[in-house]
Amino acid sequence: MPKPITPLLAADIIIELTDFPDRPIVLIERANPPYGWAIPGGFVDLGEIVEQAAVREAQEEVNLDVRLIALLGIYSDPSRDARGHTVTAVYVAEAAGTPVAADDAKNCRLFRLNELPELLAFDHAQVLADYKKYRETGQVTPLHNNPVRVSDIPERLVIH
C-alpha cells in the first residue's frame, strides 16, 4: 500500500498570562512568511505528541513554561495556510512571567482581547474569535456547521 499524502500537523498555543490584570494573551510577530501577528506555535516533530509540541513551541518562541488547560479546537481548512495544507490543534494555556521573542518570532507582545492587531497570519482571526467565545462561555469551539455526507466524499476516498 502506498504511503498516504496527508496535511502537515501543527500545535498552536493561546497563552494567558496569569500574573497580569485581565489575563492578556501573547502573540508573536512572525519573522518569516506569512508575515503578521500570530498565535505562538509550530509543527509537531516526528515521535512527539501534540501536547508536547505545544509546550515546546511556547518555550521556543516566547520562552514561557506553560500549563495546558484546554483544547480549543482543531482547524483544518486547506486554505488556512498559504504554504500548504496544515492542520493545527489549538490549545489554551496559562503561564506567568515575561515573554521573550525567540526562534522564528521577530517580536512578541501582550494583547487584551479588545485590542488585537489587525494583521493576523493564517486563520488566527477566526481562532481568536473562537477563543473570545471560550473566554465568555467556557465552551470550546463547536463543530463546523457544514456536515459532511458520504456522497460529498470523492469516490477515491470512500472505503468499500
Q: For cell 512572525, name the residue.
A: 30
> What pLDDT, on a 0 to 100 scale, did the predictor assign at position 160?
44
- Going by the DSSP 8-state scheme, the letter that residue 124 receives in this structure is H
> What pLDDT, on a 0 to 100 scale, did the predictor assign at position 1?
87
Residue 51 identity = E
> What pLDDT, on a 0 to 100 scale, did the predictor assign at position 152?
59
> What pLDDT, on a 0 to 100 scale, did the predictor assign at position 15?
98
Assigned CATH topology for domain 8-157: Nucleoside Triphosphate Pyrophosphohydrolase (3.90.79)
> What pLDDT, on a 0 to 100 scale, did the predictor assign at position 28?
98
Which 3 state secondary structure label does DSSP give 38? Answer: strand
Strand ranges inside 54-159, DSSP E: 67-75, 86-95, 105-111
Give the residue ranges of the chain where pLDDT is below 70.
Answer: 144-160
